[in-house]
Chain A
Amino acid sequence: MTTKEALYNYTLRMGDDSLILGQRLSELCGHGPILEEDIALTNISLDLIGQATLLLDYAGELDKDSRNKDQLAFLRIEKQYVNILLVEQPNGHFGDTILRQFLFDAYRTALLERLSTSKDKRLAGIAEKSLKETKYHLKHSSEWVIRLGDGTEESHLRIQNSLDKLFRYAHELFYENEVDNLLIKEGIVPSAQGIYPVWEKTVNDVLEAATLSLPKNNWKFQGGREGRHSEHMGYLLADMQYMQRTYPNMEW
């Protein structure tokens, strides 16, 4: 594998995580639990789709088949998407949506902070830009985790269930294979071991303030990075790809 191929794969993963989570959140447009959160979640969706645009644009330039960002976003088949399973999980209730967002935001913030000093200037630029937005997302999601966890008996119980249900998908945030190994060696991307402690501290601090506890089991689900997705992914793609499949080459 060449550095360029590894960089393509890495950028595609980040782009897919942003795109799929952005798509998930966009489903809440007009369906948020309260007006303020409807606006918040769709604003975060917009940021994520904006970040996906930058990432997939770069991936397209590195792609050996020279696909552009729209082709990458809308014309791949399910097995070619390399987002983690966490981001494709259904929105569920508000606690599920927020907990999923929190686990992701805590990771993304830690990752972007380190990527913004990458030797790859393009990736560093995207990270620097995205970080400013993602920090705010983390502030929003962590405040809600605390409010719900340390809220009423009912809200505590429900978000604890969200945590028990979704934490098994968090391990995949730190998935590494030869793509990462090569880029880490070249000083282009940080290692998972470098990001994990930062993520873990944020998660522990917020969960403690939220009076929530990590699930006792040690279940770990993964597969998304290798193109093996959960049953939810196909429905999401059908919705997301509909316009481009129906009207090929359409543009907004």
Chain B
Amino acid sequence: MVNEKIIWAYLEDVYDPEVPVLSIIDLGIVRSVHVKNNHVNITITPTYTGCPAMQTIEQDITVKLAAEGISSYKIETAISPAWTTDWMSESGKLKLKEYGIAPPQDEVDKSVLFSDPIVVPCPKCDAPNTRLVSQFGSTACKAHYQCQECREPFDYFKCLR
């Protein structure tokens, strides 16, 4: 018998194609799972509007459900309420750090144009002395930093609120 708890567990096995250590549950993009008369309804939300990973994620969910023998399902996308990095799980943030990506820091509102730069500790050596290299990184969700202590260049998963 299919139930919502089982589906949530299945979705733990679906990973972000661009940050392959994070499951889509860790990322917080699965917004709801409903099961009624063996029909499964899953609602996901995009991280960024132009994120090219969304299609792949939808396909990967389809593949996972098929592998588990579920044939009656619908995957919907909702943009509101808008995704925020606050929805990322604590274990997800730890996994990111272990993978070498600095997890989102508590940032002030970006609409404050002249705010002080934030401190992003190095994911390798934890030194707070790091430097913003580029506000944009290899994907829409990341910025590029370098550690001034161990010299490691690293990605920072930007805080989005």
Contact = CB atoms under 8 A, between A and B. Distances in A.
A129 interface: yes
A218 B18 CA distance: 48
A115 to B, nearest CB: 12
B143 to A, nearest CB: 9
B84 interface: yes
A136 B104 CA distance: 15
Interface string A110-138: 00010000000100111011111101101
A128 B82 contact: yes
B80 interface: yes
Given A132-B82, A139-B110, A43 B136 contact: yes
Interface string B47-75: 01111100000000000000000000000
A230 to B, nearest CB: 26
Contacts of A205: 113
Contacts of A36: 133-136, 144
Contact of A43 (B82, B114, B140): B140
Contacts of A43: 136, 140
Q: Which of B50, B140, B144 has the most CB of A within 10 A?
A: B50
A209 B140 CA distance: 28
A43 B134 CA distance: 12
B49 to A, nearest CB: 3
Interface of B: 46, 48-52, 79-84, 109-111, 113-114, 133-138, 140, 144, 158, 160-161
B81 A132 contact: no
A138 B135 contact: no
A67 interface: no
A191 interface: no
Contact of A47 (B49, B135, B144, B161): B49
Main secondary structure of the interface of B (DSSP, over half): loop
A124 B80 CA distance: 9
Contact of B79 (A46, A129, A202): A129
Contacts of A140: 135-136
Nearest to A132: B160
Interface of A: 35-37, 39-40, 43-44, 46-51, 53-54, 109, 113, 121, 124-126, 128-133, 135-136, 138-140, 142, 202, 205-206, 209
Contacts of A126: 79
B80 A129 contact: yes
Given A49-B50, A50-B48, A133-B49, A39 B80 contact: no
Contacts of B48: 46-47, 50, 133
Contacts of A109: 111
A126 B79 CA distance: 7
Contacts of B133: 36
A100 to B, nearest CB: 18
The 4 closest A-B pairs by CB, nearest first: A50-B50, A50-B49, A125-B80, A36-B134
Contacts of A202: 113
A55 to B, nearest CB: 10
A139 B113 contact: yes
